[in-house]
């Protein structure tokens, strides 16, 4: 089965074609980072309008790269949530309309399921069951995964997602957008011994997260020490986040007894986090899996793959379509 995947949940327009026998045939990703940089963050209305401008040309381009026509597509998958409602509606409207016009089945994909399954696109992919750490601008979650659709949320952020905390702290430090990579780069120059930031919620049981207070701690330190301490503040902030995530992942593996950890979402590209999780995995005799760097951020390949799995299982949506700003991952049906 060949599935066309469409991703427009936030500020990236992603399109891809996945073949259930041959694997990923083509993928294209357009980032709106430059568009939103002047505003210091994502402007939802601008994001929606840019998806409208870019989506159809990218669809034609990805079909050309795959050397396919519309007759060669067996199904269309599009991200239906969670995300920015206007941006989601662009992809959902185009994806459902194309499927109807081409006489093909359509599938509404959960954005976080796409991230969760993205390491399965790699040659060295994890077997089920596994633990998953999903870390992005909008979500921080630990999940026990038995198989596709069998998800048990072990813990999640009670306030800011970790990617959101990175971006907000970067903005406090006067860094550009997107803030996460900029903060990580600045942290490389920081003194790891100058500041020690708190590790939120490590002094209590459970696997939930909280990063809002850590952001405030960074702000207070900046006020006290001044802008010349920015690199050291960035380093202390990143070290606190990385240690917190690593300790929670260790707890999740120990509590579930699982020996495989999947890490996905935009923050999974952070090299300091990868190094700490690699060390933790070796200590716990656990294997850690990631998507390739190009698929850590939002992309069409993960949507095409996730959609293909559910279409093969017989799922499809009706003629109507809807988008969801919020959508519980553990509400998805098992396949």
CA-based radius of gyration for the chain: 20
Q: Is 180 annotated as a binding residue?
A: yes
Question: Which letter does DSSP use for residue 120 in this model?
Answer: G
Q: Among residues 319, 325, 333, which one has the least CA distance to residue 79?
A: 325
Tokens 């933790």 correspond to 280
Q: Among residues 280, 14, 334, 321, which one has the least CA distance to residue 151?
A: 334
Q: Is 103 annotated as a binding residue?
A: no
Q: Is 207 annotated as a binding residue?
A: no
Q: Is 137 annotated as a binding residue?
A: yes
Q: Is 320 annotated as a binding residue?
A: no
Tokens 């690699």 correspond to 278
| Tokens linked to 168 | 């907000």
Q: Is 63 annotated as a binding residue?
A: no
Residue 36: CB partners within 8 Å, gap ≥ 6?
11, 42, 43, 46, 47, 177
Task: Give the Cα separation of 265 and 296 in Å (integer).
Answer: 5
Q: Is 298 annotated as a binding residue?
A: yes
Cβ atoms < 10 Å from Cβ of 105: 18
Work out the end-to-end distance of the chain between its first and last CA atoms, rounded to an integer number of angstroms.
Answer: 17
Q: Is 110 annotated as a binding residue?
A: no
Task: Give the Cα separation of 308 and 74 in Å (integer).
Answer: 9
Q: Is 111 annotated as a binding residue?
A: yes
Task: Give the Cα separation of 133 and 153 in Å (integer).
Answer: 10
Cβ neighbourhood burial of 124 (10 Å; 0-12, 13-18, 19+)? exposed
Angle made by CA atoms 280, 305, 52, in degrees to the nearest 5: 110
Distances (CA, A) of 70 to 73, 91, 104: 5, 17, 10
| Tokens linked to 128 | 């089920």
Query: Given its phi and psi angles, is residue 265 left (phi above 0), alpha (psi -120 to 50 degrees) or beta?
Result: left
Under a CB-based contact definition with an 8 Å cutoff, are residues 6 and 77 in contact? yes
Cβ atoms < 10 Å from Cβ of 125: 13
Could you tell me which residues are annotated as the binding site? Answer: 111, 115, 134-138, 167, 180, 270, 298
Could you tell me which residues are annotated as the binding site for Fe cation? Answer: 111, 115, 298
Could you tell me which residues are annotated as the binding site for substrate? Answer: 134-138, 167, 180, 270
């Amino acid at each position: 089965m060949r599935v066309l995947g469409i991703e427009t949940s936030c500020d990236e327009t992603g399109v891809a074609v996945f073949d259930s026998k041959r694997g990923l045939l083509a993928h294209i990703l357009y980032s709106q980072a430059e568009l939103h940089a002047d505003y210091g963050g994502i402007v939802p209305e601008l994001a929606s309008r840019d998806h409208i401008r870019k989506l159809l040309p990218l669809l034609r381009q990805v079909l050309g790269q795959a050397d396919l026509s519309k007759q060669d597509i067996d199904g269309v998958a599009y991200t239906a949530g969670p995300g920015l409602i206007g941006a989601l509606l662009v992809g959902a409207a185009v994806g459902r309309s194309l499927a109807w016009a081409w006489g093909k089945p359509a599938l509404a994909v959960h954005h976080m399921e796409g991230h969760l399954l993205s390491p399965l696109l790699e040659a060295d992919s994890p077997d089920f069951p596994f633990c998953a750490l999903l870390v992005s601008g909008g979500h921080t979650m630990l999940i026990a995964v038995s198989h596709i659709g069998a998800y048990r949320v072990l813990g999640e952020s009670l306030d800011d997602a970790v990617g959101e905390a990175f971006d907000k702290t970067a903005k406090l430090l006067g860094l550009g957008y997107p803030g996460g990579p900029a903060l990580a780069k600045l942290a490389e120059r920081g003194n790891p011994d100058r500041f020690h930031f708190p590790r939120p919620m490590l002094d209590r049981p459970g696997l939930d997260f909280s990063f809002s207070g850590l952001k405030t701690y960074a702000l207070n330190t900046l006020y006290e020490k001044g802008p010349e301490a920015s690199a050291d503040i960035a380093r202390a902030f990143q070290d606190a986040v990385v240690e917190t995530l690593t300790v929670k992942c260790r707890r999740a593996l120990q509590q579930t007894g699982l020996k495989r950890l999947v890490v996905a979402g935009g923050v999974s590209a952070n090299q300091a986090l990868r190094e700490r999780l690699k060390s933790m995995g070796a200590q716990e005799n656990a294997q850690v899996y990631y998507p390739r760097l190009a698929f850590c951020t939002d992309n069409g390949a993960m949507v095409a793959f996730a959609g293909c799995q559910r279409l093969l299982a017989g799922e499809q949506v009706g003629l109507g379509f809807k988008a969801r700003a919020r959508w519980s991952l553990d509400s998805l049906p098992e396949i």
